[in-house]
Amino acid sequence: MDTTLRDPLIGQLLDGRYRVDARIAVGGMATVYRAVDTRLDRVLALKVMHPTLAADASFVDRFIREAKSVARLAHPNVVQVFDQGADRSYVYLAMEYVAGCTLRDVLRERGALQPRAAVDILEPVLAALGAAHRAGFVHRDMKPENVLIGDDGRVKVADFGLVRSVDAATGTTGAVLGTVSYLAPEQIEHGTADARVDVYACGVMFFEMLTGGKPHAGETPAQVLYKALHESVPPPSARVPGLAYELDELTAAATARNPGVRPHDAVALLARARDARGALTDAQLDAVPPQARAERHDNAEDRTSVIPRALTVRPLPVDGDEREEFHRTSRLAAAPPGPPRRRTVRRRRLTLTLVTAVLLVFGVGAGVWYINSGQFTQVPAVLGQTEAESRDRLADAGLDVGEVRHAYSDTVERGAVISTDPGPGSRIRQNDSVTLTVSDGPETVRVPDVQGMLLADAQALLKDEGLEPGMVTREFDDEIAKGSVIDSDPRGGTERRAGSAIALLVSKGRPIDVPDVTGEDIDAARERLQEAGLTVQIAMDRINSEIDAGQVARQSPAEGTRLAEGDKVTLTLSKGPRMIEVPDVVGDNVDDARQTLEAAGFQVQEDRGLLGLFGDSVSDQSVDGGDTAPEGTTITLTIR
């Protein structure tokens, strides 16, 4: 049944501008509609706050804050906000309309995704959040419903409704605002939220994309929250065997329960995601997940909601036999008192039973614990932490730091841990040592001084030093020989990241002004040009010219052009003038005769004498009609 028929906003013109056409989605705080901006004649999405919340000034402020915050984020992977306003009890945002579906739709339809598809979605999401984090904002409600996938494949992050300044990321004591399955432990326990809560939520989404299900399940929100607070997100390969270790490691880094262990923002997580992709083979990226649909769940669990913090710290209820024992013990405790002797015997028996149970638990249990796991521990995740922080964390886990290695890294800050051996989560005996690899930051190279070197030698030296020869430009130089380096950009002695391109400025030598050799014999012209330091080439074809045959009729480049030593000048020789038949114009009007001769390629001169001062017809011409003459010859007309 189409419930949009009962929506009172469908068909209305909101704020005299936005015509509401259809309902797209309903969330915990607002409903999203497809609408048309009648002023600009464009389709957009209209997000209208639920009327019950619109009466709450704090929610309205948060709604308006979303508009102002997102309007500052000009990023291709962020849904743009065009306008904000209110009409009667409706508070709305006018936003970019993305034709397509949400990531939730994809997961509901397909279940687990191939790793390549999961990373292809994760990276633009992190790019969008990275822009928000660097601009000083936290999303605070990342989930598949807020990841839009357009029909053209574009991925965009929407719904910055809970956005908050990083600097103002403080806690609340009464409630947590967000979506149950994607709340970070510090949100649950303390109500605090900074950029790392978005990192955590993205890690949960990544787990969900790889496995088709959420990491923590429960019959109630309280159970989900309790597990998130006390249980780490399992590695995706535990749900989908065969997934690459790098995917497990990326998920573990993003969803670490201790926020200090997580990447500090989405930009840092994006760098790790790209590193993970680069470490995977095509076969690992294109691994086909099990053919299973996404887990079924109540849609209400995926809505943004106000969660009382009492739920987040209440322990899980006991069940089964434990619940029955709990009730039985409660009934005994509440029973009316019997005879004193009976109570004493019963109390002694109960005490003996309890003591025996305690001894068994602490004796046998401790022995089993020591045998099975007391000698072992797991390597904690210290990636991204400083060496000192890593040593403290490893010491807390009962481990020593062995060798400390150093390596260059373009993505991990200098002094932070790149990797551990054994890796995070590995099983290791207590008091064993862990090898740390610490970042020295990006590898830098001192640019060598290549001034005066031949171009080929300079390029070879740059490669030997770990740099790339860049663009080559040339200019004249009176001092540096042709083909040698005048300067580099950046200059020698400058520190640059390894692999950087170094531009080179190369000398064309001293400039030579090309002399004019047109009209000269070929031998004389060649000698003059070669003496100037230029080379000569003779064109295959000759041209007609008023210059005598065999002489230079044309040169390229022309006189005055500046060339470098050894540059080439092309000479074209003359075939002499072109011979043209002279028209017969005797008896013609003077003006007509001139026009005819000039059109044929001749020059015209008039001879009137005393008798022709007032004449207007040609009585004679210097070259008879029908004869040939060189093109450009002057024909004299006698006027009578």
**What number of CA atoms fall less than 13 Å from residue 444's CA on the CB side?**
9
Output the pLDDT for position 369.
34
Question: Over 109-153, what HEC string results?
Answer: HHCCCCHHHHHHHHHHHHHHHHHHHHCCEECCCCCHHHEEEECCC
Catalytic residue among 15, 83, 120, 141: 141
Q: In the chain, which residues fall in CATH 1.10.510.10?
A: 102-158+165-313
Read off the pLDDT of each residue in 306-312 and give the average, rounded to a whole number.
48
Output the pLDDT for position 303.
54
Q: Please say if the pLDDT value at position 621 is more than 80.
A: yes
Output the pLDDT for position 366.
37
> Average pLDDT, whole number, for the chain?
81
Q: Please say if the pLDDT value at position 32 is more than 60.
A: yes
Q: In the chain, which residues fall in CATH 3.30.10.20?
A: 377-439, 444-507, 511-573, 580-639
For helices 103-110 and 195-211, what crossing angle results, to 10°? 30
For 511-573, which CATH class? alpha beta
In 3-state terms the chain splits into helix, strand, coil percentages (rounded to 5) of: 35, 25, 40
Read off the pLDDT of each residue in 464-493 and give the average, rounded to a whole number.
89
CB 444 within 8 A of CB 476: no
Q: What is the rounded CA–CA span in Å between residue 500 and residue 488?
A: 13
Read off the pLDDT of each residue in 254-281 and give the average, rounded to a whole number.
93
Q: Using the 8-state DSSP alphabet, how is residue 309 labeled?
A: H
Q: Please say if the pLDDT value at position 419 is more than 70.
A: yes
Predicted confidence band at 178 (pLDDT cuts at 50, 70, 90)?
low
For 580-639, which CATH class? alpha beta
Output the pLDDT for position 313.
44
Predicted confidence band at 217 (pLDDT cuts at 50, 70, 90)?
confident
CB 245 within 8 A of CB 218: no
Read off the pLDDT of each residue in 234-255 and give the average, rounded to a whole number.
93
Predicted confidence band at 612 (pLDDT cuts at 50, 70, 90)?
low
CATH topology (fold) of 102-158+165-313 = Transferase(Phosphotransferase); domain 1 (1.10.510)
Read off the pLDDT of each residue in 105-126 and give the average, rounded to a whole number.
94
Predicted confidence band at 353 (pLDDT cuts at 50, 70, 90)?
very low
Between residues 351 and 627, which one has the greater pLDDT? 627
Q: In the chain, which residues fall in CATH 3.30.200.20?
A: 3-95
Q: Write the pLDDT tens digit of every residue in 515-546.
A: 999 999 999 999 999 999 999 999 999 998 88
Q: What is the rounded CA–CA span in Å between residue 233 and residue 200?
A: 10
Output the pLDDT for position 331.
33
Q: Please say if the pLDDT value at position 49 is more than 80.
A: yes
Q: What is the rounded CA–CA span in Å between residue 338 and residue 324?
A: 23
Q: What percent of the chain has pLDDT over 90?
A: 42
Output the pLDDT for position 251.
95
Read off the pLDDT of each residue in 105-125 and give the average, rounded to a whole number.
93
Output the pLDDT for position 163.
52
Neighbours of 76 (CB within 10 A): 12
Between residues 11 and 71, which one has the greater pLDDT? 11
Output the pLDDT for position 375.
59
Q: Please say if the pLDDT value at position 636 is more than 50.
A: yes
Q: Write the pLDDT tens digit of every residue in 127-154.
A: 999 988 888 888 888 999 999 998 888 9
- For 215, 251, 282, 384, the CA distances from 288, given in Å and listed in that order, are 20, 19, 12, 31
- Highest mean pLDDT: which range of 2-6, 377-381, 604-608: 604-608
Q: Write the pLDDT tens digit of every residue in 559-589.
A: 989 898 889 999 999 999 889 999 999 999 9
Output the pLDDT for position 515.
94
The domain 3-95 belongs to what CATH superfamily?
Answer: Phosphorylase Kinase; domain 1 (3.30.200.20)
Read off the pLDDT of each residue in 190-202 and give the average, rounded to a whole number.
91
Predicted confidence band at 330 (pLDDT cuts at 50, 70, 90)?
very low
Q: Write the pLDDT tens digit of every residue in 82-114.
A: 888 888 888 888 999 998 889 998 999 889 999
Read off the pLDDT of each residue in 57-75 and give the average, rounded to a whole number.
72
Residue 141 among the catalytic residues: yes
CATH topology (fold) of 444-507 = Trypsin Inhibitor V; Chain A (3.30.10)
Q: Please say if the pLDDT value at position 476 is more than 80.
A: yes
Q: Please say if the pLDDT value at position 344 is more than 50.
A: no
* Residues whose CB is less than 8 angstroms from the CB of residue 249 and which lie 6 or more positions away in sequence, other chains included: 276, 383, 423, 424
CATH 3.40.30.10 fits 377-439, yes or no: no
Q: Phi and psi (nearest 5°) for 548?
A: -60, 150
Total-model pTM: 0.48
* Residues whose CB is less than 8 angstroms from the CB of residue 190 and which lie 6 or more positions away in sequence, other chains included: 171
